[in-house]
Amino acid sequence: MDRIQLIKKAKQARELSYSPYSKFAVGAVLLCKDGSEFLGANIENASYPLCMCAERNAIFNAMLHGKTKDDFVCLALIANSPTPCSPCGACRQVISELMPKDALIIMANDNGDIKEVSVDQLLPFAFNKDDLK
């Protein structure tokens, strides 16, 4: 897996962002074991709760194409932020349920800063299906 290539793909996905309100465009790419890649970009709405983040769009895109948690290897995301772009809390919850705990999350920015963590490190003590018993 070429991390720099994944970040470039995430940057290409960012071009698809619809972010007229925040002006904060985010792109993401989800890599699967078979080498397939699924893009996501943030899509905003004047009614802010209806917005959708790039990370979730990439994961949902893959799932709509028949991929499952067992297929996912890595999620890369990028934004023009001062530090590597980190997933919001809602995305962290979705990532913790729909990706393997050891999957790699690559967070980047336009300055070339990169931070890598596992899903487990991204959201320790995640709420999951076992908590519903």
- Coil, helix or strand at residue 124: coil
Q: Which of 44, 55, 97, 116 is catalytic?
A: 55
Task: Respond yes or no: is residue 55 known to be catalytic.
Answer: yes
Using CA atoms of 129, 61, 123, 118 in order, give the dihedral in degrees to the nearest 10: 120
**CA-CA distance, 75 to 79, in Å (whole number)?**
14
Which residues are the active-site residues? 55
